[in-house]
Chains A and B, each alone.
Chain A
Amino acid sequence: MKNRFTQLRYWLLLPVLLAAQLLVAQTTITGHITDQADGAAVIGATILEKGTTNGTASDLDGNFTLKISSADATLVITYTGYSAQEVAVAGRTSIDIKMGEDATVLDQVVVVGYGTQRKSDLTGSVGTVKTADIERIATASIDQALQGKIAGVYVSPASGEPGAGAIIRIRGTGTLNNSSPIYVIDGMITYDASFVNPQDVQSVEVLKDASACAIYGSRGSNGVILITTKNGKKREKAVVSLSSYYGTQQITRKIDMMNAAEFAQSYNELTNSPYYPDPASLGEGTDWQDEIFRKAPIGNLQISANGGTERSSYNISANYFKQDGVLKNGDFQRVTVRFNNEFAVNNWLTLGNNLAYSNSKRNIAPGGVVGTAYRMPPVFAPYDSAGKFTDPTSPFGLALANPAADLFYKSDNTRNGDRFFGTIYGDIKLFKYFTFRSNFGFDLDNNRGRTFSPKFQVSASQLNKDDRLYISTAQQRDWVWEQTLRFEREWGSHRLSALAGYTSEYRRYEGFGAGRSSFPGTSSEILYLNAGNDTTQINGGSQHDEALVSYLFRTNYVFSERYLLTVSARVDQASRFSRANRTAVFPSFSLGWNLGQESFIENLRIFDRLKLRGSYGILGNQNSIRDRYYPSFGLIVAGQYAVFGAGESLNQGATLVSLGNPDLRWETTRQTDIGLEIGLLNNRLSAEIDWYKRVTYDIVGAIPIPDYIGSQDDPIVNSAEVQNTGVDLTLNWRQAGRVSWNLGAIASPVRNKVIKFNDQKAEILASFIQGEPATRSIPGEPIGSFYGFKSNGVFQSAEEAMTSPRLGNETAGDLRYVDINGDGKIDGLDRINLGSPIPTLTYGFTAGVDFAGFDLAADLFGVSGNKVYNSKKTFRFAVYNWEQSVFDGRWTPENTTATKPRITNGGHNYRVSDYYLEDGSFVRLRSLVLGYSLPTRWLQRAAISKFRVYASGFNLWTSQKYSGYSPEFGNDSSSYEVGFDNGGYPITKSWQFGLEVTF
């Protein structure tokens, strides 16, 4: 009875599966894995039923439970640094396995698109990050946790805003458009993985080459990030885990601005007047950065329970994450709940689900104050003597806004999100070798925004004449239905698996917003839309939908464990294109050779593992038209009002303002990859090196057409071609034993260049600053290369300026631009490419050591070869504060050996030039963790299996040449406009203390 009750309780955890309660006997094996040398438990070893992809991993005590197809099965046990073992079950239900360190084959299971594969059989390039490496980073975003972990995967934080994600580039910037990869979370495709709680993640696999990505066809060209969430294991007692951390964040550094004395001196020099009779007396003044930034807490609490019964496994988790912004008034909090279940109804039917719900709430601080604080002269205090906000506009101009006032008046801005995301699937075993799976995935995303701007006036330009409340909602509904049939067979020295599938998808978005003004009060009970004045109401909506139908095919063939072949293809049909261009085929072909298994290599007794592989394939980039749902239609745009009549009323106008292109097709990438995997010294040292070449062609872009055509926007066409070539290098050293330690390094040099635009276009100028382009993309050079004048010191005297080639009326103390074409004058023709915002090398190091219960781990991440344009320094719409570096060494009539220009405010010295270009290289200590786990024997009486405390640091140390907060700036929309520091939300560093308890 008690047993029945327990089972019932588990079934209640399986909301999808309640009906399925058939009792059929199963073959299950349990085991215990220990180190042959010291008898210690081997944690995380992979146990696989031979000839299948059915497998599990050993737990913290070295135990495992695995459901196997028959009592005659053979288990393959693998673990990095140990030799793989094959053990015949031979009717036993419990097995003890000792592992030795003289491995010859390393065989782990890797998640790939629509399935899993042995690492040794893999012919594609796939990088893996496991849960332990993810949990080390204190962040809400799974993206951020990937930085510096996988060769060829470049991760740059989007900003330091609470809950912010990251920009990811896999193997370079593949296109002029959006170059972000897609995410596949437990089989469900999405562009936005921000709701995923990193602590729910079992592993992240990054598919990098064509062989791995082609199964995702039109969405594969920028790489694929597969996220597998944790599940319990069948026949395992329930494990309840509790983990928590709490810490403090702050900005990584401050920008050195002029203090009040220096500003006053500079202002006197600027205006050539003694406006401030005694600048030095003003002293330090206000450091506006101190007025807007703060130390902010970050905290996380996770409770999970997982385990399994005879025929089911489950994992339930709940997580609460809260992060306050280092910019005052902003915060982010998120509750995530996850239910993962699998239930074997009988010996041929298995049902399962992976369901996640998340609720997030974000209070958005007015991010613009980072820029305003940067610009604000230090001679002001935030408040005047009466406690009112200071009006900073006199005498410096109306473009100044008091950042303290902006923070105060513009912080009532929230976003609330509900997301329900998951998959429900059924597996049917058919005949002997086939498995059919029907998988339904859904993503329901509801967002609500609320912004209230109160009425206020600080100055003639910093004011809001009437209050305004704006409420918006956005609803996204996606579903995917996939049918796949899998074939697996092993005979003799042959192993063959194949997959065929049919999928259909539909996405729909609807947004709505409305606002009113003139509210009768300002208390929170009053501030609802209906209370506003209805004559001030506005509303609007936007909506789109799309459908995709696909056919998939993949086959893997292994002969004699040595010769590997993978062929895959996906046929995508997309609603975005006209019927004629709707269908596209994305094939790939790859070969592998496990040289290590050849006797002539084995005889060398050097390599434990040696594999050579190569792949070639064609992939599409749906992201290229991500925001263009109906690109083949010419759209009639309403709202082109004309004003007529004595009463000056609006008369609706509508016409074709932009041309459609029914000939548009997929942007496509050809990718070639050659890889070598090596295991040495009993597999303690493993290395993986890949060379790749990605050529993206038919790049979708708005290619300029002559303006006489009269189109408001340039039509979208397939045109440009971009190439990335590079190497991904991964090295790992892993030593198991009483003191186990590991070292890892990744390095990814990459070279990006534009090959061509269309025939009508030789260059693309973009990122205009004060009407001047700051980037130029031309064939042969990287996308979005910085473009402007080259400076060479300053004119030390007026005579020197008069007699030199000049742009305009430069005089003593102004920047001297180089006359590149030597025609005796400086003009637009003297601008050149000044460098690229794309790093030529990204690299990372990891190190970890475990000894006597202590664990210590560190991650370093770095980039080099990229430039950064300090554009915030060039914005001058009034007299703004200058960076301190402008002060020291500036030209003055007294200092005529200066290397820096005189104090100016706009004009010549602020043209786009290399004077504002800085080195973007940096190395950062991404994480540092020190933990201690209490010995198991102390805990057993308390029924605790693990008790660990740790301290961790995030971004604690950075070495950078750049003068701003950080040389990383998120820009996900255009490849032409990367690497500009416009004064965004800076990234943070933090300290956390954490606790993990497992019962």
Chain B
Amino acid sequence: MKHAFFLQHKLLLTVGVVLLAATSCQKEFLDRKPLGQLTYDTFFENEDQAVYATNAIYNQFRQWDCISLPWIGLTDIISDDADKGSTPTDALYMLELDDFTFDATNTAFGSVWRGYYQAIGRANIAIQRLPDVNMDAAKRNRLIGEAKFLRAYAYFLLVQWFGDLPVITTPLKADEYYTQTRQPKEAVYTQIEQDLNDAIAVLPKKSEYSSNDLGRATSGAARGILAKLYMVKRDFVNAERVCLEIINSNQYSLLPRYADNFLQVGENGAESVFEINAAALPPQDGVIGAGASPYNMIQGVRGNPNLGWGFNRPSDNLVSAYESGDPRREATVIYVNEVLPDGVTQVQDNPEIVNERYNQKAWVPPHTGLQDNGPGNIRVLRYADILLLCAEAKNENSKSAEALPYLNQVRKRARGTNNFILQDVAITDQTMLRERIYRDRRSELAMEQQRWFDLARWGRLSTVLTAAGKTNFVPGKNELMPIPQSEVDLTGGKIQQNASY
């Protein structure tokens, strides 16, 4: 019994010691960090991570919110270039955009707002944290320049749609989440201009990038967006200056064949100033379609061949807007029974869709991973666009004669070897030339998500869209999109709604 008593105590003692030991290392025991994953505190420690953080901004630009249905909805479909497309009942919120029956709860507004502000958020993180990364200074500056370019581009889209915006340039803290207010659009312009000028100062020219980095932001791309900003601000002197800087940089030229711009061969080609790059690649790191975008899928032929969902139908208005014989029409529109650019596949009639037509500029040949592995780059800025802007700016600056060569350069390429069409323009009357430039701008850039923004900066939304049959358009209201209702609600009205919404 006595033996048992001692054994009992020994046991107790052992347990006591173990308990004490357990208690004393409890803090370490309870400090658990995410496994296999970096955290915000442990990131930005080397050059690779600086590059990753910058690449992640580009990534956002090919996500659903940025370049899918809401994107084509708020650019082509809402304009006179395109109808909703697809089957009559598919994605009715897109029909609301086409018909101007939307209100602030339409998900398209929330999508682009969220998508581009997320791009801005990613850029803000890089711009704030990169200066502290121990790495090659030149490369760091370039990366910051890329981030600033991407931030400027996102703000530029948002300001054209929504007008005044909350201008956020650093990652917000928790107590700042609900306190932001909309700044006047002029303040947004100033921020964009500053970012772009910073970017121009540090970004390489297109030819200065290694071929592996093709697709990164260039000083030319930054100038291109800057030129557009000046056009929006109707600062034609600066617009002309910047356009000429791009033209004289000798980095760009028009491709001989217009249609090649939208094929795989045209990606990042001589005419490309900026593109959102995407690729249909074999699976990597367990992710299929890690390089893809939904841009092609949403617009692809629906039916046979089954390449997509069939949204963004080129409108009757667009089809009839081209000059007689303009080959750009055939390069822009896919009709039933047409043989696709692969030269083989013929489009079959799909009874689910009324008056089928598709955007040929979003066409891509079949590829691995089916529809959702969309490989096509989204052409943001082509050299032809810059030439037309240059012509437009010069004309506005009363240098109509000087404008003509830029316009005719674009027309010449479009007509190819057929000298009976798209003859050179010789008009020097400013008003008349303006109309010629506007018309060519539409024909050249149709279905490339430019039309709404052009009509807006020309002040012609109301007249053009009403004439195109969009009788629900309300002047004084519909020139700007409604701020997503959730932003107004969540901030208790600190974010104010646009007039009349």
Contact = CB atoms under 8 A, between A and B. Distances in A.
Given A535-B282, A546-B32, A630-B32, A656 B215 contact: no
Nearest to B279: A648
A680 B303 CA distance: 75
A104 to B, nearest CB: 41
Contact of A549 (B26, B165, B283): B26
Interface in B276-321: 277-279, 281-288, 290-291, 303-304, 306
B118 A582 contact: no
A652 B52 contact: yes
A525 to B, nearest CB: 26
A508 to B, nearest CB: 9
A623 interface: no
A907 B495 CA distance: 33
Contacts of B329: none
Q: Which among A502, A506, A642, A876 has the highest number of chain B CB atoms within 10 Å?
A: A642
A634 B484 contact: no
A704 interface: yes
Given A646-B214, A650-B281, A706 B490 contact: yes
Interface string A877-918: 010000000000000000000000000011100000000000
Contacts of A876: 89
A683 to B, nearest CB: 43
Interface stretch (B4-12, B185-193, B439-447, B466-474): B4-12
A544 B105 CA distance: 39
Contact of A709 (B92, B117, B211, B278): B117
Nearest to B167: A708
Contacts of B110: 707
A827 interface: yes
Nearest to B177: A705
B59 interface: yes
A639 B285 contact: yes
Interface stretch (B34-42, B71-79, B218-226): B34-42
B291 A641 contact: yes
Given A630-B33, A644-B216, A645-B211, A907 B92 contact: yes
Contacts of B282: 535-536
B279 A643 contact: yes
A483 B213 contact: no
Which of B110, B117, B492 is the most central at the interface, judged by chain A CB atoms within 10 Å of its CB? B117
A629 B19 CA distance: 26
A640 B59 contact: yes
A963 interface: no
Interface size class of B (residues with CB under 8 A): 35 or more
A653 B52 contact: yes
A606 to B, nearest CB: 51
Nearest to B176: A709
A650 to B, nearest CB: 5
Interface string B268-282: 100000000111011
Contacts of B92: 770-771, 907
A277 B50 CA distance: 68
B277 A648 contact: yes
B39 A428 contact: no
A771 B487 contact: no
Interface string A520-564: 000000000000000110111111111111000000000000000
Contact of A704 (B53, B56, B286, B490): B490
Nearest to B104: A828
B258 interface: no
Contacts of A576: 32
B119 to A, nearest CB: 8
B355 interface: no
Interface in B121-137: 121-122, 124-126
Contacts of B53: 653-655
B55 A642 contact: yes
A430 B12 contact: yes
Interface string A472-514: 0000000001010000000000000000001010100000010
B177 A709 contact: yes
Contact of A540 (B113, B285, B375): B285
A725 B105 CA distance: 36
A634 to B, nearest CB: 4
Contact of B168 (A547, A708, A905): A708
A636 interface: yes
B56 A655 contact: yes
A885 B118 CA distance: 46
B29 A549 contact: yes
A375 B416 CA distance: 52
Given A543-B36, A545-B32, A650 B284 contact: yes
A643 B291 contact: yes
B103 interface: yes
A12 B244 CA distance: 93
A465 interface: yes
B39 A633 contact: yes
Q: Size range of the interface on A?
A: 35 or more
A142 B30 CA distance: 33
A539 B286 contact: yes
A848 interface: no
**Which of A546, A704, A707, A770 has the most C-beta atoms of chain B within 10 angstroms of its own C-beta?**
A707
Interface string A395-427: 101100000000000000000000000000000
Nearest to B165: A708
Contact of B487 (A634, A648, A708): A708
A711 interface: yes
A216 B166 CA distance: 47
Contact of A907 (B89, B171, B288, B490): B89
A648 to B, nearest CB: 4
Given A483-B19, A654-B49, A760-B492, A538 B31 contact: no
A348 interface: yes
Interface in B155-188: 165-166, 168, 171-172, 174, 177-178, 180
Contacts of A640: 52, 55-56, 59-60
B237 interface: no
A233 B90 CA distance: 68
Contacts of A603: none
Nearest to A878: B352
A710 interface: yes
Interface in A422-463: 428, 430, 436, 438, 460-461
A629 B32 contact: yes
Contacts of B343: none
A821 interface: no
Contacts of B303: 398
B17 to A, nearest CB: 12
B58 A653 contact: yes
A649 interface: yes
A642 B59 contact: yes
A549 B31 CA distance: 12
B122 A707 contact: no
Contacts of B279: 643, 648-650
A461 B306 CA distance: 8
Nearest to B292: A643
B283 A645 contact: no
A506 to B, nearest CB: 8
Contacts of A959: none
B453 interface: no
B425 interface: no
B268 A436 contact: no
A53 interface: no
10 contacts: A346-B4, A502-B22, A549-B26, A575-B32, A630-B32, A641-B290, A643-B278, A643-B291, A656-B125, A710-B118
Given A465-B370, A549-B26, A636-B37, 20 more contacts: A398-B303, A502-B23, A506-B29, A575-B31, A575-B32, A634-B39, A635-B37, A635-B38, A639-B287, A642-B59, A643-B277, A648-B281, A652-B55, A656-B125, A706-B180, A706-B491, A707-B113, A707-B484, A708-B166, A761-B490
List 10 tightest A-B contacts by C-beta distance, closest first: A710-B121, A653-B55, A540-B286, A906-B89, A653-B56, A634-B40, A642-B58, A648-B279, A640-B56, A655-B56
